[in-house]
Amino acid sequence: MNYKFNWNVVLSGEYLDWIIQGVAVTCQISALSLLFSVIIGTALAVMRLTGFRPFVWFTVAYTEFFRNTPLLVQIFFWYFGSEGLLPRPVMQWLYQWDFEFVAGVIALTVYTSAFIAEEIRSGINSIPKTQLEASRACGLSFVQAMAYVILPQAFRIIIPPLISQSLNLIKNSSLCMTIGVAELTYMARQIESYSFRGFEAFTVSTLIYLFISLLVSFAITQYNKHFMRTVSY
């Protein structure tokens, strides 16, 4: 091999600033998408368990559609096709912001929330039905019973699959480079284009993704252990 590695090109000067900016955008788009995904996924799981047929049909259609279509296609749909779907005032408002970033958040959210909804539903189903019945007998409504009794227990059970979905979301955020979101992979590609140091650029980005994933996994696992220990006391 005649290739001479030059890591200083990537890890210094303007290119290092690009890497830092890419990491910041990756963390931002992943954190926002995860937050909205958990909220929407929880709502979908509860709606499906209400037994109200329109809610059940909607949630089944939602989860099956978004889980069984490629994420990249969904990203392109929200970026190129949202103008024909959303009202003009909404589109004008979105264009005032970073539309590429917003489209990426929407695509990642609707995709990930479909998976999280199924994880939460599985967690709820693992709770004995007698707890819901007892909560209703104590005067709580269905929503109150879910919020105060069932969901707190369900979330403790589904921490491991939620970690997996969080890590998948972080890695999936790299696909947003295809619509111009300046996240980590996009910045690595830019560095490669300007410096012709593709190996160094993508090696650094790979290691950063690995570090972020391990950090998120460790943080959530430690929180879960601490929470479980606190509850047991």
**CATH number for position 228:** 1.10.3720.10
Q: Is residue 180 part of a domain?
A: yes
Q: What value does the mean pLDDT of the chain take?
A: 88
The model's pLDDT over 32-74, given as tens digits with 9 standing for 90+, comes to 999 999 999 999 999 998 888 999 999 999 999 999 999 999 9
Q: Is residue 187 part of a domain?
A: yes
pLDDT-derived band at 231 (thresholds 50, 70, 90) equals very low
Q: Report CA-CA distances (Å) from 226 to 149, 210, 223, 229, 230.
A: 20, 24, 5, 5, 6
Q: Is residue 1 part of a domain?
A: no
pLDDT reading at 87 higher than 90: no
Helix axes 99-125, 159-172, angle to 10 degrees: 160
Q: Is residue 51 part of a domain?
A: yes
The domain total for the chain is 1
Question: What is the span of the domain harbouring residue 177?
Answer: 7-232
Its pTM stands at 0.88
Q: Is residue 64 part of a domain?
A: yes
Given a contact cutoff of 8 angstroms between Cβ atoms, the answer to whether 164 and 221 are in contact is no
Structure tokens at 209: 């993704």
